[in-house]
């Protein structure tokens, strides 16, 4: 009840093939595959750019060392 059987899916697939034809479905599949590849490539490029920006901002931050307190002279209490 409410489930889709294998026969129903095969009938729908046959109707889709009859409507669009095998050649057009093949081209749609290849277009979809290339779009997904392009999307993944852009996501990887964005991650790489973010990592470069993060590394660059870490390099620009001054790093504190223990000797930084001595620059102002001895501390008086």
Domain boundaries, the chain: 22-57
Q: What does the alpha-carbon distance between residue 26 and residue 35 come to, in Å, rounded to a whole number?
A: 14
Q: String of b and e for 19-40 (b: at least 16 CB within 10 Å)?
A: eeeeeeeeeeeeeeeeeeeeee
pTM of the model: 0.47
Q: Is 53 exposed, middle or buried (0-12, 13-18, 19+ CB in 10 A)?
A: exposed
What is the tens place of the pLDDT at every residue in 24-52?
888 988 999 999 999 999 999 999 888 88
Which of 8 and 54 is assigned the larger pLDDT?
8
Weakest mean pLDDT among 14-18, 50-54, 57-61? 57-61
Average pLDDT over residues 5-33: 90
- pLDDT attached to residue 60: 67
Task: List alpha helices for the chain, DSSP H.
Answer: 6-20, 22-60
- pLDDT attached to residue 61: 60
């Amino acid at each position: 009840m409410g489930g889709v059987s294998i026969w129903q899916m095969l009938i729908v697939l046959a109707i889709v093939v009859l409507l669009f034809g095998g050649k057009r479905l093949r081209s749609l599949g290849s277009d979809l595959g290339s779009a997904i590849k392009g999307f993944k490539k852009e996501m990887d490029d964005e991650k790489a750019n973010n990592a470069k920006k993060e590394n660059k901002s870490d390099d620009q931050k001054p790093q504190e060392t223990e000797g930084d307190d001595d620059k102002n002279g001895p501390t008086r209490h």
